[in-house]
Structure 1
Amino acid sequence: MNKTLAIREFSEELAHHFRDINAEWISAMFSLEDTDRDVLGDPRTKIIDAGGIILFVEAGDLGIVGACALQKTCARSYELTKMGVRESARGMKAGEFLLAAVIERALALQADPLYLLTNAKCAPAIHLYEKLGFHHDADIMARYGARYERCDVAMRYLGAS
């Protein structure tokens, strides 16, 4: 099986992958909140048209195995959100590959701050975020944490150490 990883840009043809990948992991660990349904149901309007991006990772013969968005939340602030990788691609470093591409895009957009909101139950994801330069941040939690009921971890990108 060809396991070459590649980044793909958002298109209407790929939008269902964004919805399916994220709905799968969110439903497995939590329950879908109204804000999830809103974004997953209309990513073109809620993310792309609002100044954000959605990237996908494709793994050779497996096809699209992961998705992640940068959602613009203020003039230069972006939330890294809705990052998920299918079970079939776990262990291939598809998440790390995708996260690095999204961070690179955020830096090109001069995101300030680049932040994410998550839950302590997502320990493997938190470890990956830390590895690639995100740090726990009380100010981000205070400013944005109420967006999701499940949010108990907020992180800001400060760069790789």
Structure 2
Amino acid sequence: MPGLRIHEFSDALAHHFHDINAEWINAMFKLEATDREVLENPRAKIVDPGGVILFVEAHGLGIVGTCALQKTGERSFELTKMGVRESARGLKAGEFLLEAMIARAMQLEAEPLYLLSNAKCAAAIHLYEKLGFEHDAGIMADYGARYARCDVAMRYRAPAN
């Protein structure tokens, strides 16, 4: 996408991970203890245990979005804490970021790659579906209890070549 760039996690960018996610979570829900723990300690909770945090920068706007892959098992990864600032809505920054994160998950041979969400996040769920995530009762049963607000669980299905 023109004018968009992906950045890897660095401690200098960690405040964006916190601020972007706290903004959307507080706007739609209530920050849970598990949210605060991850947002306040992204290196310790996500990066050091083998996960990934990426950021998307929009030309002229700076860092506008972020997303994480949190390692939850030998090869299982949860796509989590994906947010895009309101100032960047319409620039396809979320789609650009999600495509980059799926590519990274495939490099890590993630199985399963899954996400937990809430039906209130309709635009995000539509984007996840567009890029290959499918609703999955097994993921809900295995992982859904982590968040009180979780009522949607999805698993990535790589497109058949």
Q: Contact 1:140–1:154 at 8 Å: present in 2 too?
A: yes
Q: Which residue of 1 aligns with 2:126?
A: 127
Please list, as runs of the form range in 1=range in 2, the aligned pairs for 1:84-99 lying within 5 A after superposition.
Answer: 84-99=83-98
Please list, as runs of the form range in 1=range in 2, the aligned pairs for 1:5-154 lying within 5 A after superposition.
Answer: 5-154=4-153
| Secondary structure of 1:61 counterpart | coil
Compute the displacement of 1:160 (Å): 3.6
The 1-side partners of 2:43 and 2:113 are apart by 21
| Secondary structure of 1:106 counterpart | helix
Q: Contact 1:66–1:85 at 8 Å: present in 2 too?
A: yes
| Secondary structure of 1:13 counterpart | helix
Amino acid at match of 1:23: A
The 2-side partners of 1:88 and 1:5 are apart by 14
Per-residue Cα deviation, 1:71-122 (whole angstroms, up to 9, x for no partner) = 0000000000000000000000000000000000000000000000000000
Q: Number of aligned pairs? A: 159
Q: Contact 1:71–1:80 at 8 Å: present in 2 too?
A: yes
User: Gaps (5+ residues) in structure 1?
Assistant: none
CA RMSD, Structure 1 to Structure 2 (Å): 0.8
When normalised by structure 2's length, the TM-score is 0.97
Q: Contact 1:85–1:95 at 8 Å: present in 2 too?
A: yes
Amino acid at match of 2:126: H
Give identity over the alignment, percent.
74
When normalised by structure 1's length, the TM-score is 0.97
Per-residue Cα deviation, 1:16-64 (whole angstroms, up to 9, x for no partner) = 0000000000000000001000000100000000100000000011000
Moved over 4 A (4+): none
The 2-side partners of 1:139 and 1:18 are apart by 29
